[in-house]
Structures are given as C-alpha cells and as structure tokens.
Amino acid sequence: METRYFDIMLFAKAIMIEPEINISIKRNINLPVDKNWLESIARRVLEFEAITSSAEIGLLITDSNMVQRLNRIYRGEDKPTDVLTFQMTHDQSQESGELFVSPPDGIKHLGEVVISYPQAIKQAQEQYHGVTQELTLLIVHGILHLLGYDHELPREEQKMRDRENEILSFLELV
C-alpha cells in the first residue's frame, strides 16, 4: 500500500509542471487587463524566484471595503490598504509553535495575495504611471511577502525593495 501511495505522489509531481495560480476578480470591477495577464505576471515573478513547480497561490482583486475589512480582522488596522497577503508557509507555523505538516498532494500552498483595485488606481495616479504598472508592483510585492520577504525593519525593507526592483527589471518595467 505504501509503495502505491509513493508511486502516485511521484506521478503527481512529475505531471505538475507549473505553479498553480488561482485568480479571482470581484464582480463589477472592470480591470484594464484580463486574468491571463494577471496570471502571466504572477507566474513570471515565481519563475524569477525559482519557484517553477509544485506550488500554488491565490490572487484576489477586490474593492477597498473588502480589503479594509480583512485588514481590520487580521491585522487590527481599520483602514484601507493596497495589498494584503496571507502566507501559508513553514516559517509561519514555527512562530505559532505548531508543527507544519506538508499537504498530501505535494503542492506547496504559498498563500493568498489580496489587492484593492481602487487603491491601485489611486496610487497609479499619485505615482504618474498606469494602473497596469501599479497592479504589477502590487503583485510583485504581495508574492514576495508570501515568499518570506518583509519590510518591518529598515534592513528588511531595503532587501525587499532591491528584490522588487530586480523583478521589475526582469519584467521590463523599470
């Protein structure tokens, strides 16, 4: 019985060629891009970070009310923000003292990136660039958070900003 499970897992890993990217867009949000564009940006960020298989992320584009509600519930900050991430990695489980158990499907579930589209529009206008560029910046920023980058301390912030710039250059946006 164990051999059969092992064979199934090897087969599952062999056929899993690319990371799975699940995209959701809140109804009534009219993006200037489609899901394929969003997926290609996320996929290229993961590729740059050498995550090429057996991984999954979620990307949600929603309104400011939803992001503010999530920010209030999960971060204790009752204000809108541009991007939230919900990381599902080994490091997070170590902080809580719980032992992390890998899922049986062999896929590393990295977490969710939630972007406020109205905030992206506002920030694009403030920075004098297009909303697609701002969405790209937010996707890059969010995925880096899922991969463990942070900006709470100045040294961490510089490391994350440098990595963002490297990825944006790779995406030919800088």
What pLDDT does residue 158 have? 94
Strand pairing class (108-116; 83-87) = antiparallel
Q: Which residues, given as ranges, of the chain have pLDDT below 70?
A: 1-17, 89-106, 173-174
pLDDT digits (tens, 9 = 90+) for 23-46: 999 999 999 999 999 999 999 999
At 94 the pLDDT is: 43
Return the C-alpha torsion angle 127, 133, 135, 141, nearest 10.
-80
pLDDT one-digit tens code per residue, 56-73: 999 999 999 999 999 999
C-beta atoms surrounding 68 within 10 Å: 18
Please state the pTM of the whole predicted model. 0.82
Q: 62 vs 27, 31, 48, 69, 90, CA distance in Å? A: 8, 10, 26, 12, 27
Domain ranges of the chain: 18-170
What number of residues does the chain have? Answer: 174
Distance of alpha carbon 143 from alpha carbon 23, whole angstroms? 13
Domain 18-170: give its CATH architecture.
3-Layer(aba) Sandwich (3.40)
Distance CA 9, CA 18 (A): 16
Mean pLDDT of the chain: 85
Q: Map tokens 């090429």 to a residue.
A: 52
Strand ranges (E), the chain: 20-25, 55-62, 83-87, 108-116
